[in-house]
Amino acid sequence: MARILYDLTASGDRRFSPYCWRTKLALAHKGLDYETVATRFTDIDRLNDGPRLTLPVLDDNDVRIVDSWAIAEHLEGHYPDAPSLFPGSKAHARFMNNWTPTIHPPLLRLIVLDVYNALDAADQAYFRPDREAKFGMTLEAFVEDQDAHLKAFRAALNPIRETLKIQPFISGDTPAYADYIPAGAFLWAEAVSECEIVASDDPVAGWMQRVKAVLN
Ligand SMILES: N[C@@H](CCC(=O)N[C@@H](CS)C(=O)NCC(=O)O)C(=O)O
């Protein structure tokens, strides 16, 4: 097989990494076949001998690419005849790559316990102390006051929401990588959580349905 994606996986084969979703959307957009290797947090150290990697990792015909943005650039450079991930300009997508981390923290405050509960026992034993050290508090304290976190997350989506009031996709008339970057966050939540992170009549919800069609 020419292309292998190491895809972060929770129990029940749930694929939940927002960054891996960006790559799966990019591969689908390009129409490129690939296989995934279900990879738990505690499997990551087995992928290499050097410093710990992050996922996604893509092995494309013996070339290894780490980091979702680097993978998108690689796919665009190596498969120029397939539909472009950056139609018009890469600058727009680069901005989204730098902006989207602003919506991850408020989303994490909504779903991190669901992420934890979705993991198998070995990954839970890694995840809880690692994240609690990063947050400086327990996971339970981190998610306290869900109403306030939901409000903060939905407010953080305003730039996307306002854009979608006048065009169907962040990239314009058709979806491209600038859409897939924030879309990964929604697929992350959907994989592990029942939380209704956007209301069904929110323009963002309609956009997500349209973006997901790329995966079909
Ligand atoms: N900048 C990287 C970030 C990737 C990343 O943070 N991946 C997470 C999974 S969502 C990871 O591999 N974490 C490993 C860990 O927490 O041990 C990218 O865009 O690919």
Instruction: Find the domain containing 36 and state its range.
Output: 3-86
Segment 23-50 mean pLDDT: 98
Ligand 1 centroid, distance to 19 Cα (angstroms)? 7
Q: Mean pLDDT across the chain, nearest whole number?
A: 97
**pTM (whole model) above 0.85:** yes
How many whole angstroms separate alpha carbon 89 and alpha carbon 108? 30
Backbone CA torsion sign across 172, 175, 178, 181: positive
Last residue of a domain, one of 67, 86, 105: 86
Distance CA 114, CA 47 (A): 26
1 pLDDT above the threshold of 60: no
User: What's at 154, amino acid-wise?
Assistant: R
Query: In this predicted model, what pLDDT tens digit does every residue of 124-179 receive, in sequence order?
Result: 999 999 999 999 999 999 999 999 999 999 999 999 999 999 999 999 999 999 99
174 lines ligand 1 (CB under 6 A): no
Q: Is residue 91 part of a domain?
A: no
Task: For residue 55, give the ligand 1 atom closest to its CA.
Answer: 12
pLDDT at 19 over 90: yes
The CB of 19 under 6 Å from ligand 1? The reply is: yes
| Co-location of 106 and 176 in the same domain | yes
Q: How far apart are CA 38 and CA 185, in angstroms?
A: 19
Q: What is the pLDDT of residue 208?
A: 98
Which pLDDT score is estimated for 88?
Answer: 84
Cβ atoms of 83 and 74 within 8 Å: the answer is no
What pLDDT does 59 receive? 98
Task: Give, using CA atoms, the residue closest to atom 1 of ligand 1.
Answer: 67
Ligand 1 pocket member 124 (CB < 6 A): no
The share of the chain scoring above pLDDT 70, in percent, equals: 100
68: nearest Cα among 89, 47, 46, 53 = 53
Distance CA 172, CA 178 (A): 10
Cα(49) to centroid of ligand 1, in Å? 17
Ligand 1 pocket residue status of 17, Cβ below 6 Å: yes
pLDDT > 90? residue 77: yes
* pLDDT average, residue stretch 40-59: 97
If asked whether residues 62 and 37 sit together in one domain, one would say: yes
Ligand 1 atom nearest 53 alpha carbon: 12
DSSP 106-164: HHHHHHHHHHHHHS-HHHHHHHHHHHHHHHTS-HHHHT--HHHHHHHHHHHTHHHHHHH
Q: Average the pLDDT over 94-115 and give the result.
A: 98
Q: In angstroms, what CA-CA distances link 148 with 109, 142, 144, 186?
A: 10, 12, 9, 19
Ligand 1 pocket: which of 8, 37, 43, 54 to mutate (most atoms within 8 A of CB): 54
How many domains are contained in the chain? 2
Q: Of 32, 58, 86, at which residue does a domain stop?
A: 86
How would residue 110 be classed by pLDDT, with cut points 50, 70 and 90? very high
Whole-number Å distance between alpha carbons of 202 and 84: 28
Residue nearest to atom 2 of ligand 1 (CA): 67
Instruction: Report the alpha-carbon angle 96-39-45, nearest 5.
Output: 95
The residue behind tokens 């854009």 is 163
Is residue 102 domain-shared with residue 20, that is, in the same domain? no
Q: Within a domain: residue 210?
A: yes
pLDDT in tens, 177-192: 999 999 999 999 999 9
